[in-house]
Each structure stands twice: as structure tokens, then as C-alpha cells.
């Protein structure tokens, strides 16, 4: 049998009885809410130096693996041509990964050199189910966020087709080819997943709702073709290619523009905050 708590008898000084049990429950609820809010405001820490060290270690391992496979294939290839080709196939995936890691190391070092004094944090290669890993998530104090995808097509030009809402690449004498899978769609899906599943990177619900620049970076010999003027936008006094497509708008820049873009984005966000 469950007994209800006994309430004290009212007095002339306190005509309304106080439910001690109810007060304790209410205080417990308030404490839990405060604890929950405090937890929601906690931001997952990002260790720039640790992340760089892990990338450097992976780079060394990949380099050693490729060298070992290459040497073994060369020796075997003296006897069997097909074995040598097998070695090339075995090194292809590690070599692609090595290029990615090397680019990330260079990019993160450049970002830290320029913005470490502002408290910038860089988190590379965030795994996303069903998609390629997010190449780089960048965070500044005050909840400013940028998401980068790094891609390369060798010596080629990148063109955006407005009618088909798709990116194409052109190599000499090979015509235009559609860029598949679409990196802009992938970047937008990654951003959506990150906000939904890694909220601790943003701090709280307000941080999750803040604008996050989604940026496709084409690397080195891959360049951007000239586009019509209305496809460019000016932020922080600088012009950048901006693709306002269905599924999420993205910026498309060359690797040489990354530092200028981050600087312009911070200035743009600061001016927005001052006007609100």
C-alpha cells in the first residue's frame, strides 16, 4: 500500500500548508534541468597538435606501405608482368589516401599558422555513415564554423552548369565530364549529418543553428573556370564562387584562396552579428 506524504497542519501565520515532498521534487527537477543545460553548453574539445600528429603518423605508415608494395612488385615484375600490375593496383588506394592526408596536413598547418592566435580548432576526417569522411571541420571561439571538402582532378578546369545544377570538369582535348559523385550534394549531406549527430561540436542548440560555411576546395593543378558574374558573391570585401543550388548552397574555391576565404568569412560573420 502506498501512503501519500502527510502535510503539516495550517497555522494562523501560514494559512496555506507547504507540501515539503512537492518542494523537494520541484527542486530536484530544477537541478536536473540546470545540469542538462550545462551539459548542452559543453563543447567537445579539439586538440590541433594531436590531430596533426595522428595525420603525420598515418602519412608515414602509408608511405612505408607504398614503398614496400612497390619494391616487392618490381622484383616480382621481373618475372611476371601481371604481378607487377597487381602491385600497381594494390598501391592505388593507399596512394590516394596518402594524397588526401598530405593535403590535410598542409592545409591545417597553414590555418594554424594564420589563425591559431584567434583560437582556431581543426578536426580532420570525421566519419559519416554512407558518405566519404568529412575532410575538415574548422571552429572558432564564439561559435563560427566552416566545413571543407578537398578534391582534385589533376590538370583540369571546373565548371558549374546552372541548368543541370551540377559541376563538370574539363581536361585538354577530352571535353566536359560531369563530376560524379556530386561533391556539393555530398558536402551538404555531411553538414546535415554533422549538425544532427555531432551537436557537441557546436556547443548548444544556438550553435547548431548558426551559419556554417560549406566550402569545396579544388587543389593545386585543378582550377576554376571563369563563371558568370551573378555566381560570385562578395564577403569580407572578397569575391568567391557561390553556388546557391537546391539541397544547400556551397562555396567553391581554389586551395590558394583558403586563408583569404576564412579571413573574409570571419569578417562577414562579425559584421552580421553587429547588425543584429
End-to-end CA distance of the chain: 59
- Domain annotation covers residue 188: yes
Rounded Cα gap, residues 193 and 208, in angstroms? 11
pLDDT digits (tens, 9 = 90+) for 35-70: 444 444 456 789 999 999 999 999 998 888 878 766
Residue 232 β-bridge partners: 241
Any idea what the CATH number is for the domain that residue 242 is in? 3.40.1350
Both 4 and 135 in one domain: the answer is no
The pLDDT of residue 11: 46
pLDDT of residue 207: 74
* Domain-embedded: residue 121: yes
Residue 259, C-alpha cell as written in the block: 586563408
Q: For the range 191-198, what are the long-range contacts, defined as Cβ-Cβ under 8 Å and sequence gap of 24 or more?
A: 191/147, 191/248, 192/248, 193/128, 193/129, 193/131, 194/126, 194/128, 194/134, 194/137, 194/147, 198/44, 198/126
Contact (Cβ atoms closer than 8 angstroms) between residue 160 and residue 231? yes
State the pLDDT at residue 133.
93
Query: Do residues 1 and 127 share a domain?
Result: no
pLDDT, tens digit, 9 for 90 and up, residues 217-228 = 999 899 999 999
On whether both 253 and 124 belong to a single domain, the answer is yes
Bond into 116 cis (ω within 30)? no
* Beta-bridge mates of residue 139: 121, 145
Same domain for 139 and 250: yes
**Interhelix angle 81-115/258-275, nearest 10 degrees:** 40
Instruction: For residues 146 and 251, state if they share a domain.
Output: yes
Contact 122, 136 (CB under 8 A): yes
Q: H-helix or E-strand containing 235?
A: strand 232-235
pLDDT in tens, 182-202: 999 999 999 999 999 998 898
Same domain, 141 and 36: no
Q: Are residues 22 and 117 in the same domain?
A: no
Q: What tens digit of pLDDT does each residue of 140-150 get?
A: 987 799 999 99
Does 134 lie in the same domain as 20? no
For residue 160, the model assigns a pLDDT of 96
Instruction: Note the pLDDT of residue 29.
Output: 53
Per-residue pLDDT reduced to its tens digit, 150-181: 999 889 999 999 999 999 999 877 789 999 99
pLDDT bin (cut points 50, 70, 90) of residue 23 is: very low
d(CA 84, CA 105): 31
Confirm whether 27 is domain-assigned: yes
**Which residues span the domain enclosing 16?**
1-41
* Total-model pTM: 0.78
- Do 19 and 139 have their domain in common? no
Q: Is residue 87 part of a domain?
A: no
Q: Tell me the per-residue pLDDT of 87-136, one tens digit each, with 9 for 90 and over.
A: 444 445 778 888 999 999 999 999 999 999 999 999 999 999 988 899 99
Domain count, the chain: 2
Indicate whether 83 belongs to any domain.
no
Same domain for 147 and 19, yes or no, is no
Closest of 249, 251, 237, 71 to residue 158, by C-alpha: 251
What is each CA distance from 117 to 51, 112, 120, in whole angstroms?
18, 8, 7
On the question of a cis peptide bond just before residue 184, with omega within 30 degrees of 0, the verdict is no
Amino acid at each position: 500500500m502506498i501512503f501519500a506524504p502527510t502535510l503539516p497542519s495550517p497555522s494562523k501565520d501560514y494559512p496555506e500548508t507547504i507540501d515539503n515532498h512537492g518542494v523537494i521534487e520541484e527542486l530536484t527537477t530544477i537541478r536536473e534541468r540546470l545540469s542538462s543545460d550545462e551539459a548542452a553548453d559543453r563543447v567537445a574539445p579539439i586538440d590541433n597538435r594531436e590531430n596533426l600528429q595522428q595525420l603525420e603518423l598515418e602519412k608515414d605508415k602509408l608511405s612505408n606501405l607504398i614503398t614496400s608494395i612497390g619494391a616487392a612488385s618490381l622484383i616480382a615484375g621481373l618475372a611476371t608482368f601481371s604481378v607487377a600490375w597487381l602491385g600497381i593496383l594494390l598501391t592505388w588506394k593507399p596512394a590516394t589516401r596518402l594524397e588526401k592526408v598530405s593535403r590535410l596536413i598542409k592545409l591545417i598547418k597553414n590555418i594554424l599558422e594564420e589563425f591559431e592566435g584567434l583560437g582556431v580548432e581543426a578536426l580532420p576526417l570525421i566519419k559519416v555513415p554512407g558518405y566519404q569522411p568529412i575532410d575538415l571541420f574548422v571552429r572558432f571561439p564564439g561559435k563560427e564554423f566552416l566545413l571543407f571538402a578537398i578534391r582534385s582532378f589533376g590538370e583540369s578546369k571546373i565548371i558549374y552548369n546552372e541548368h543541370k545544377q551540377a559541376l563538370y570538369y574539363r581536361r585538354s582535348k577530352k571535353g566536359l565530364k560531369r563530376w560524379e559523385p556530386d561533391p556539393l550534394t555530398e558536402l551538404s549531406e555531411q553538414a546535415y549529418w554533422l549538425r544532427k549527430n555531432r551537436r557537441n561540436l557546436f556547443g548548444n542548440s544556438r550553435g547548431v543553428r548558426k551559419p556554417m560555411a560549406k566550402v569545396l576546395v579544388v587543389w593545386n593543378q585543378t582550377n576554376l573556370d571563369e563563371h558568370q558574374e551573378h555566381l560570385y558573391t562578395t564577403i569580407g570585401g572578397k569575391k568567391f564562387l557561390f553556388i546557391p543550388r537546391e539541397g544547400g548552397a556551397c562555396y567553391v574555391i581554389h586551395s590558394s584562396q583558403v586563408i583569404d576565404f576564412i579571413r573574409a568569412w570571419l569578417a562577414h560573420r562579425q559584421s552580421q552579428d553587429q547588425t543584429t
